[in-house]
Amino acid sequence: MGQLWESFIMAFKDVFANKTRSFLTMLGIIIGILSVSLMGTAISGINNTFENSMDMMGNDVLHLQKFPWFMKGGDWWDFRNRPNMKVEYAEKILQRSKKISFATPEMQNMGNIRYGDNSIQGVFIDAANWQLQFVNSLDFSAGRFYTKAEDRNASKVVVIGYGIKDNLFPSQNPIGEEVRIRGMKYKVIGTLKEQGKFLGLFSFDNMAIIPLRSAYSIFGRRKHMSITLKVREGFKVDEAKEEVRIIMRSLRGLKPVEKDNFAINQQEAFRQQFSAIKMGISGAGFGITALALLVGGIGIMNIMFVSVRERTKEIGIRKALGAKQNVILFQFLSEAVIIAVIGGMIGLIITTSLVGLLNKFFVASLSIELIIISLSVSIITGVLSGIVPARKAAKLDPIDAIRYE
Amino acid sequence: MALLELSNIFKTYKIGSVEVHALQGLNTVIEKNEYVSIMGASGSGKSTLMNVIGCLDTPTSGSYLLDGLTVHSNDKKKSKLDDNELAEIRNQKIGFVFQTFNLLPRATALHNVELPLIYAGVSKKARMGKAHSTLIEVGLGDRMHHRPNELSGGQRQRVAMARALVNNPSIILADEPTGNLDSKTSAEIMVLLDKLHSVGNTIILVTHEHDIAEHAHRIITLLDGKVSKDSKTKNGSKNKLINNN
């Protein structure tokens, strides 16, 4: 053990005796580890954000709409010519269905919100009935959702997302304050907890929820509408979907030969689409990583061959003094692994500083698992690229080696 | 029992398609605490014999016993030692002193002397103590932390001798130890070598200089890979005389 430790220390000194060369050799590994750790962090960040977004959508929620989320085949005009969704469907489905517990029509629109002199453009305004709080499991940081009565009376009350609260009321309790939505006065009655951005692009936090009836006067009745349905607990989403389909066909009076003229969307569709994207990212990431590590590994191997040649005499002396093959092997293998691991660590340090940048788009952090994986990959690369030169060193004939100048 | 016993040693190299018969049936016996010079013209097999005795190389045939160990024998049952076993014997039994010193250039004198102890698996503390005292023994107590390029030729050879001594070897094998030194420094090194012999070490000195060889008590002269002459020197006879009294 002592001998191997000494070999390791000697290898360490040798790496630092040739700082520039060692650093240049590390570059490939640095890029490889940077790529694997950054890609891993990005994927897990995207994944977290995606799951958060999915949770907000609810995985037991069905979206009854005119268009499917991801059109596979079919003529856009066929979809376009379908009849629009109607507000009363929500009530009718709720009456007829056993498997749906809550239903709300939803109208969504962009608008601006103003409070005093401050205003925010491009707010996502969601108009729904009082059941929305049960359909989407809304988390409140303060206040409450609007009541059935407020909903029926088209009260001008609003629940605001974290982003709006943060912008309009940075250091003030917004509850009870009046904001203007498209010029109309609304009273803030609740604020939601932070949700994060959807795929780093679109924030649910930049959302305001108002009673559906109150929205008619600002959006009109003819806006795109969808019906959002919550599957009753204990029932499978697919069964509920089938039930809703049958109810809708009967509401629309469709004959058996006619195709559905509506779409029932669920987050599963997103998930499928997302996993394809994720595979694409990880595939590309894996490719870059493998290529960088291969180049890095060859770089280390090359420099180790140079190192063995340069130190042939030294190896001869060590062998004459009684160094066994495995001691010499270990010394050179250590050198390769040290170069690879230091390269890996530099890569990880760069990643850590870049994660801050990623965080501007979505919540991401470098996980312990990823650090362990990165360092393991470094060690393996070091061993694979160092083994051949190290074996060459270990097998040198002491007489020839000691005479080498 | 003899410390070193070589009988009927042959060594044949192949350089390309040419066979070189470096040793051709060499026989010799060296006792403990002997002081022997090996002489001979170049091509007489000196270096090859040196490598065989030092376990850096194994003979093609013949038997070699070192300190009770069979390093090589014609008996196939006692199989040949492998690379690692030879390394262990070199570490435990042989102390090398080379013409070109062969110190590690980037290591301090102390670390150079420590090296054989590292490979012997001696603990750090014991190693430091032993390396220290050995360097003091060769008169380099004030040069321990100098690197070879900060030392004179004579000092470098002293470091090499300390390194050879540090593991208490059975034989100190000095190959032209004064070959790269001026006459004054050579004399100093030879004084040190004589001293090492007088405290009980067995020394084998390979040289082509007669006055250096005369320091030993016995001179073995090689010719064409065989011992051509084996004689006592003046020192040797003197020693005998003192012992007889």
DSSP state of B161: H
Point out which residues pair with A56 in neighbouring strands.
Answer: none
Which position has the higher pLDDT, A358 or A212?
Answer: A212
Q: How far apart are CA B121 and CA A85, in angstroms?
A: 85
CB contact under 8 A, A325 and B83: yes
Question: What is the chain A residue with the closest CA to B104?
Answer: A314
Residues in chain B: 245
Point out which residues pair with B38 in neighbouring strands.
Answer: B206, B220
> Shortest CA distance to B48 belongs to which of B83, B13, B81, B85?
B13
With an 8 Å Cβ cutoff, is A276 touching chain B? no
Burial string for A202-218 (b: 16+ CB within 10 Å, else e) reads ebbbbbbbbbbbbbbeb
Give per-residue pLDDT as tens, A284-321.
888 888 898 999 999 999 999 999 999 999 999 999 99
List the 72-91 stretch of B: residues with Cβ below 8 A of A: 83-84, 87-88, 90-91
CB contact under 8 A, A3 and B54: no
Confidence tier at A376 by pLDDT (50, 70, 90): very high
**Residue A235 half-sphere exposure, CB side, CA atoms within 13 Å?**
19
Q: Strand A178-181 to strand A184-192: parallel, antiparallel, or no bridges (unpaired)?
A: antiparallel
List the 135-174 stretch of B: residues with Cβ below 8 A of A: 163, 167
Residues of B in contact with A6 (CB under 8 A): 118
Q: How far apart are CA A38 and CA A42, in angstroms?
A: 6
Confidence tier at B222 by pLDDT (50, 70, 90): very high
Rounded mean pLDDT, A245-273: 88
pLDDT of residue A68: 86
pLDDT of residue B69: 87
Query: A interface mutation test: which of B49, B119, B173 has the most A CBs within 10 A?
Result: B119
A201 pLDDT higher than 70: no
Confidence tier at A219 by pLDDT (50, 70, 90): confident
pLDDT of residue A4: 84
With an 8 Å Cβ cutoff, is A142 touching chain B? no
Q: How far apart are CA B47 and CA B56, in angstroms?
A: 11
Closest Cα in chain A, distance from residue B238 (Å): 35
With an 8 Å Cβ cutoff, is A399 touching chain B? yes
pLDDT of residue A81: 85
Give helix then strand counts, H and E, for chain B: 8, 10
**CA A106 remoteness from chain centre:** 27
With an 8 Å Cβ cutoff, is A324 touching chain B? yes
**CA A18 remoteness from chain centre:** 41
Q: How far apart are CA B194 and CA B192, in angstroms?
A: 5
Tokens 């690379």: give the residue. Answer: B83
DSSP state of A175: T
List the 113-132 stretch of A: residues with Cβ below 8 A of B: none
Which position has the higher pLDDT, B236 or B92?
Answer: B92
Burial string for B185-199 (b: 16+ CB within 10 Å, else e) reads bbebbbebbeebbee
Q: Is the dihedral of CA A50, A56, A60, A63 positive or negative?
A: negative
List, in sequence order, every beta strand (DSSP E) within A216-302: 225-231, 263-266
Q: Count chain A–chain B contacts defined by CB atoms under 8 A.
A: 62
For the whole model, what pTM was predicted?
0.73
How many CB atoms lie under 10 A from the CB of residue A135? 24
Our CA angle for B156, B122, B52, nearest 5°, is 60
Confidence tier at B109 by pLDDT (50, 70, 90): very high
- Contact between A261 and A67 (Cβ < 8 Å): no
**CA A108 remoteness from chain centre:** 25
A96 pLDDT higher than 70: yes
Confidence tier at B113 by pLDDT (50, 70, 90): very high
Q: How far apart are CA A354 and CA A342, in angstroms?
A: 18
